[in-house]
């Protein structure tokens, strides 16, 4: 597991190579095995492989979702917010499980945050845009969109000496 964490980087450039069906099935299994508070499993996953729909998802927010347009697969991670008060945390856990599984399969991925982001300079949120685009019910809230594919860029792991060790405290908050 630590090797996956060391190698995982946000990949925003993907080759045009399709993701094999068995790899997609493993990503889905991983998502469905993600832990959730009290075993409620409020998360829902919308798989998008239609290039036209992905192109629209790439316009979900003002900045930071453009990379999706070249991804062969997008997974919209959302949840029925009426089922759990910690759906955000449950979706976040499921999303990183999917990303680590993608890494283990030699795939790249990147997270596009949707919750609490604006779609445009008007009143429309990125979440509302995605809900309307995909026909999601009102209670189904969107946490993020994961772009997944074969990497078309190579990124070196973050060096151990660049880890922010100053973020770690022992027993008490002291400087």
pLDDT at 121: 81
Instruction: Please tell me the total number of residues recorded for the chain in this structure.
Output: 175
Q: Please list the pLDDT of the chain residue by residue as tens digits (175 residues).
A: 888 898 999 999 999 999 999 999 999 999 999 999 999 999 999 999 999 999 999 999 999 999 999 999 999 999 999 999 999 999 999 999 999 999 999 999 999 999 999 998 889 999 999 999 999 999 999 999 999 999 999 999 999 999 999 899 999 997 6
Residue 6 lies in a domain: yes
Pairing of strands 43-48, 73-80: antiparallel
Predicted TM-score (pTM) of this structure: 0.94
| Domain membership of residue 88 as a residue range | 2-167
Residue 103 located in a structural domain: yes
The reply to whether 172 falls in a domain is: no
Question: So what's the pLDDT on residue 122?
Answer: 84
Structural element, H or E, at residue 98: helix 87-104
Kindly state whether residue 107 falls inside one of the protein's structural domains: yes
Q: 175 lies in a domain?
A: no
Question: Distance between alpha carbon 149 and the CA centroid of its chain, in Å?
Answer: 12
| Tally of CA atoms within 13 A in the half-sphere of 64 that contains its CB | 16
Residue 91, in any domain of the structure: yes
Residue 174 covered by a domain: no
Split into its structural domains, the chain has a count of 1
Please report the pLDDT score of residue 6 as a whole number: 87
Structure tokens at 40: 């409620």
CATH number of the domain within which 65 lies: 3.40.109.10
Would you say residue 173 lies in a domain?
A: no
CB atoms within 10 A of CB 78: 27
């Amino acid at each position: 597991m630590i090797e996956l964490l060391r190698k995982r980087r946000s990949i925003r450039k993907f080759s045009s190579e399709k993701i094999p069906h068995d790899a997609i099935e493993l990503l889905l299994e991983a998502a469905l095995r993600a832990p959730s508070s009290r075993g409620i499993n409020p998360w829902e996953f919308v798989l998008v492989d239609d290039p036209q729909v992905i192109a629209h998802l790439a316009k979900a927010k003002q900045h930071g979702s453009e990379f999706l347009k070249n991804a062969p697969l997008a997974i919209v991670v959302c949840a029925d917010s009426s089922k759990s008060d910690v759906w955000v945390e449950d979706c976040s856990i499921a999303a990183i499980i999917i990303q680590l599984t993608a890494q283990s399969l030699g795939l790249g991925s990147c997270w596009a945050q949707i919750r609490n982001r604006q779609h445009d300079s008007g009143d429309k949120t990125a979440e509302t845009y995605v809900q309307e685009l995909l026909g999601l019910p009102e209670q189904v809230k969107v946490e993020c969109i994961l772009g997944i594919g074969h990497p078309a860029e190579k990124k070196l792991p973050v060096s151990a000496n660049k880890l922010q060790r100053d973020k770690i405290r022992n027993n008490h908050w002291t400087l």
